[in-house]
Each structure stands twice: as C-alpha cells, then as structure tokens.
Structure 1
Amino acid sequence: MKKLGLMFILSTFLGISILTGCSSPDKSNAKSTVNLEHSDKRGTVYLMAGKINTNENVNISSKITAKVAETYVDIGSTVKKGDPLMKLDSKDLEAQVAKEEASVGTAQANLAKTQIGSRPEQIYKAQALVDSANVSYENAKKNYERNQKLFDTGAISKSQLEQFQTALGEAEASYESSKADLDILNKGETQETINVAESQVKEAQAALDVSKIQMDNSVIVSPISGVVTAKDIRTGELATAGVNLMNIVNSDAMMVDAYLPAEYINKIKVGQEVVIKALEVPDKEFNGEIYVIDSVVNLKNKNILVKVKFKNQDVELKPGMFAEVGVKN
C-alpha cells in the first residue's frame, strides 16, 4: 500500500474523531467511516486506524541539582531496569559523607566511653588530687588559726589576717571540688548523660544516612526496561532537581488504540492476528494481535475501540505515532 493511502485513512480517521466530537452523527460522517476500508496488493484489508500508545512511558529527572559528569546512553539506546543512565558530579557529596562518617565515629567513641565508666587509673589520679587538696586545706586552716591568735594579741594587722582567711577559703573550695570529681568517677556517668550520648550517635548517623542517599542519587538509573526516546541533557550541563532529562519507553508494552467502524465488527475477534503500519515508518509492516474489543459503540461516530498489541517490536516505533491496522482476506 502506498504512503498516500495510509495518510488518507489517518486524516479521515482524525477528521471523524474531531468533527463528530462536536456534533451529532449524520449521513456524511457515516459515509466517511465506510470509506476507511481499503486493501493492499497482498490482500490485507485495512479497517481501522489509531494512535500508538504504551503502558510504560517514564520521564527521567534528577533528585539533586548538580553538573552531569558522564552520560551512558543516547536516543535509541536500549536499557534494562536498573541500568545507569548518567552520573552527576559528586565531589561535594563525597566530602560531606566523609565529614558525617567522622562525626559518627566521634559520637560512638564518646558513647562507649560514657557506658564503660571510669578506668582505675582515673580514679587513682583523682584520689591523689583529693589527698593533695586535703593537705593544702589542713595547712591553710592551721595557718589561719595561728595567725588569728597573733591578730588577737595585736602582732599582725587585720589585712594580714584576711590574706590567710582568703587562702583558707581557696584551699577549702579546691578540696571540695576534687572530692566531687572523685565521687563522679566512683559512681560512673548518670543515665541522663548516657542518654545524651546515645542521642548524639543517632543524630550523627541520621545525617550520614541522608548524605549517603544523596550520594546514591548522583547516579541516575532507569526505572524500567525500554528504549531512550528523548534526551535533553549533555555532559557538563547542570541537571536541576525535578526537571525532565530523558524519556524512556517500554517498547514491549506498546500497542495501538485503533477505532473500527461498527459495521465491520463481524470481521475481527480477540486473538486475531493483524498487520500494523505506522505513518512515520512507511516501509515496514508489523505483526500484531487483537486483545481487546470494546463492547460499547461510540454513538457520535459509530466507531468501536480496538486494542492491538505488537508481536514484534522495533526501536523506530514511538508512542504518539499514527497507525492503521489491517486483516488478511
């Protein structure tokens, strides 16, 4: 069949679909619908036309904003689910992950130290400080008491006595502080302190998890198996989060939503093998099979929706192409 014939049937089909959507069916529309039938030299009778669609058609976008470091596919490339499509620059993300890993390590070490409690050498050192502070306190106390007596006899001035009193106060404060430190070491960390350390570990780990997810997002993979039908990004360009970069179509899921004049309903059945020709691929024929025949007739144009699946796929087939479907005599 010549390309002119295919263009005629598709333009007729589109004209019917548009015009009858705005008015009631009349005799002229019915006549145009009948004229859809034509055949080629091999006896294939083309009864219906429609648009190629697919059940799986996805737009690919990035979850982060970064420059494209490398692309692995181009328009027409066949990919499998999980295949990498492109890699984004991840230097900053790698540095962030390293920083968060260090923070997790520090927090975990602090928690372990808190949970283990005091080591014997720490307690020994703290006890030595207490003993030393106690000696200093006792000496300061004796000096103050001796000079108090001298003050009472008028041997020293009040300002001199106050100096010994200040020294006594400082020695006492140091002694009490060292005893408190030793008491903490002997008792170990409180549960509240341990809880705080545990929270710090969780916070650091959560930040690390977020950074790792962002790292994973720097490699964009295909969510389905199919063919790359569009690509709007190149190496070195900025991929903005949420903006479409590619389109992938599962060619195995492509079909034709064709419309059959109701008067030809007795010429087709579910499971019947058919021939498909696409307007944009005029030199090829594709084998197909009818798998759905709508039970409702469109009252405006007297057409019936018929779904036809391809039995052999081709990378040249694209969703949105117009096609006609024929049956063999």
Structure 2
Amino acid sequence: MKKRIILLVIVAVVVGLSLWSAQHYRVSRVARVSSAQPWWKVWLEEVSGKVWELHGNVEIREVRLGFKVPGRIVRLHVDEGDTVKPGQLLAELDQAEFLDAVRQAEAALEARRAELAALENGSRPEEIEKARALTEAARVAVRNAEIALRRAKELAPKGAVSQEMLDNAQAAYDQAVANYQAAVAAQRLVEVGPRQEEIDRARGLVRQAEAVLKDAQRRLGDTKLLSPVSGVVQVRVHEVGDFVNTGEPVFSIARQEEVWVRTYVAEEDLDRIRPGMQVVVLTDGGNQFLGQVGFISSVAEFTPKTVETREVRTNLVYRVRVLVNDPECKLRQGMPVRVRISAEKTFASDQPGKQP
C-alpha cells in the first residue's frame, strides 16, 4: 500500500512538472535559445543554471517635434500611427507674414547694393562737368568782384565813393574768393570720388542686409515641420487652426530603430552578465528577438540609506539596458518581456569588433 502511494506521488510530481514545463514553454520557437534546441533541453539548462531569465519592459525613444517659429497651423500631413521618414513633411504654418518679411528684406538688400554700386563706380562724367562749370562760374565772380573793388578804391580818395560802398565792395570780393575755393574743393571731391571708408561702410550694410534676408528665408522655411528621424507617430497634439508657440510639441514620434529593454539584475548575478553578451528577448505573444547587453549601471537602485545585513545586500539590483533587433517593429512601448541569457554565449567584449 505504501509503495503504491509513493508511486502515485512520484507520478503526480512528474505530471505536474510536465504540465508546468508545457505551460512555461508552450511555443517551442519561443522556448529555445537557438533553433536547434528543444524546450526540454532549455528547461534542463535553466534548472542547471546554464540559462537564466530577466524580466523587463520595452523602451522606445520618443522625439517631440515642434515648429521653430510661432504661427497658426494650416495643414497636417500625418496622423497617429503613420510611419514617417527623415525629411518627410509633417505640418505647415501660415506663411503670409513670413513671406512679407522676405520681400521686405529683399527690397532693403537691393537698395543697399545700389548704394554700394554708386560709390564703387564713382562720379559720372556729367557730375564732373557740372562741378567744373561751377568752379569756372565762381572764378568769374571773383574777377568781377576784384574789378569792382579796385574801382571803388580809385574813386574813394576823390570822394566819389563813400566808405560804405568801399566796404561792401571789399566784402563782395572776399565772398567771391571763398565761393571759388569751395567750388574748387567740390570739384576735386567729385573727380576723386567717394572715400574708401564710405565704400567699406556700404559693403558692411550690404552684408547686414544679406544676413537679414537669410534669416527671413530661414524663418519662412521653419514654417514647414520636417521629420528629423524615422519612426511612428504616437501622438498628434494639435489640430489645424491651432496657434502654436516656438518649440511647442505638435507630434510625438517613436524611433523604432532604437528599441531596447529595461531590466534589472541582482547583485549576486552581476558576474554572470557583461556588456556585449548575446541574449534572446521573448514576448508573451510568442515572438522572440535577438538582443545584446549594451549597458549595466554602476549604481545600485532601490538602495536603503544604510546597509547593515547580508539579506539587504542581496536585494540590491542594477539597471541593465538590452539593445533589441526589431526590424518588423513588433515591439511596443512598455511591453513586458523576458530576457533569456545563456552562460555559454561568447561575450562580444572578448572578440574584436565594435563595442555596443
């Protein structure tokens, strides 16, 4: 009777272990570390310590995109769930005021360039001829004033000209001489042309106008929101007609090419894992992905202020980042997964090549 009870207990244990194994490794594709290993061999390796698992969640980097200039949204070209590529047009703002700013900057630049061209070309022949004519007229006025002054001086001793008339003749002559000297100086300026300092100043104003135009054109280009990365639109924050400020998020894009798993390893297991170790990431839905340990935190998390007992020390955990290869974009943000690690896997750090 006792032997029969013992036999039944053994059978029950074996059946229970078999059911548990079948439930835990219900899909042979998921349960194997490699395609050549059946589930029962994986289970034996896990029991023996050659294969062990970590539990974690999928993390996908998100990019929040917004316009570099404020304005009102007039068009949205993508919606939530759409796949986008680098350089793809996502949204547009009203361009009216930005176009006006570009036109104003273009007109100001044309005016500055015209001023610079006038200075660099110098005086026209007509201007030089005019300056010479004015100089000649001033010289003639000096000669006439000199004759009048000499006549007044000859008549003054005879009493035919009063002292006042003599003084007026002298003043007229002096003024004529001054006008002649001013005309000669003006003629020289016209013939020589503008100063180099004036030309340099005009060139500086042209460069300033060019910079203003480039800034206006850049701001006009910033009314179009382009995707800098490839990924999937997760959230569309605004709608057509909304007014947005500079940098205010309009879309949130998940970067599918950068998928990784956040998991934690206990302190006593730190020697069993290294950066570069090849792993298999398993999902509850029956999918498996190849991965690689990319980062192990050097700082323990959930650490108490004081560690006094051995039991507390063994509960310390360290954050691990596992890079996952997901070409079909099946992984989702926050998805729970298991990271299966084989102790027999070769470390990438022990082989030549790029470190993760």
Instruction: Note the 1:82-93 alignment, pairs <5 A.
Output: 82-93=87-98
Q: 1:130 to 1:323 in 2, by over 3 A?
A: same
Partner of 1:108: 113
Structure 2: 5+ residue runs without aligned partners?
A: 1-19, 32-51, 301-313, 341-356
Instruction: Note the 1:189-228 alignment, pairs <5 A.
Output: 189-228=194-233
Structure 1: 5+ residue runs without aligned partners?
A: 1-34, 278-283
C-alpha distance in structure 2 between counterparts of 1:87 and 1:116, whole Å: 45
Q: Aligned residues: percent identity?
A: 24
> Contact 2:281 / 2:324 at 8 angstroms: preserved in 1?
no
Taking structure 1 as the reference length, what is the TM-score of the superposition?
Answer: 0.71
Partner of 1:49: 55
Q: 1:296 to 1:193 in 2, by over 3 A?
A: closer
Which of 232, 241, 245 matches 1:236? 241
Deviation at 1:180, TM superposition (A): 0.9
Which of 245, 255, 268 matches 2:250? 245
Question: Quick one: which amino acid aligns to residue 57 of structure 2?
Answer: K
1:309 partnered with 2:324? yes
Deviation at 1:151, TM superposition (A): 4.1
C-alpha distance in structure 2 between counterparts of 1:163 and 1:296, whole Å: 102
Name the SS for the 1:155 alignment partner. Answer: coil
Residue deviations 1:195-239 (CA, integer Å, cap 9, x gap): 222222222222222222222222221111111112222222222
Which of 254, 257, 276 matches 2:283? 276
Taking structure 2 as the reference length, what is the TM-score of the superposition?
Answer: 0.66
Name the SS for the 1:129 alignment partner. Answer: helix
Partner of 1:133: 138
Residue deviations 1:223-262 (CA, integer Å, cap 9, x gap): 1111111222222222211322221121122232244785
Deviation at 1:49, TM superposition (A): 2.9
Which of 104, 119, 122 matches 1:117? 122
C-alpha distance in structure 1 between counterparts of 2:138 and 2:318, whole Å: 103
Name the SS for the 1:76 alignment partner. Answer: coil
Partner of 1:325: 338
Name the SS for the 2:239 alignment partner. Answer: coil
Name the SS for the 1:147 alignment partner. Answer: helix
C-alpha distance in structure 2 between counterparts of 1:303 and 1:143, whole Å: 111
> Contact 1:260 / 1:306 at 8 angstroms: preserved in 2?
no
Partner of 1:179: 184
Which of 67, 73, 98 matches 2:72? 67
> Contact 1:97 / 1:208 at 8 angstroms: preserved in 2?
yes
Question: Quick one: which amino acid aligns to residue 42 of structure 1?
Answer: V
> Contact 1:286 / 1:312 at 8 angstroms: preserved in 2?
no
Q: 1:318 to 1:138 in 2, by over 3 A?
A: farther
> How many equivalent pairs are there?
280
Deviation at 1:38, TM superposition (A): 6.2
**Highest Rg: 1 or 2?**
2
> Contact 2:259 / 2:326 at 8 angstroms: preserved in 1?
no
**What's the RMSD between the two structures over aligned residues?**
3.5
Question: Quick one: which amino acid aligns to residue 24 of structure 2?
Answer: S
Residue deviations 1:305-324 (CA, integer Å, cap 9, x gap): 46251434448x543x1312
Greater relative CO (CA pairs within 8 A, separation 6+): 1
Name the SS for the 1:253 alignment partner. Answer: strand
> Contact 2:259 / 2:323 at 8 angstroms: preserved in 1?
no
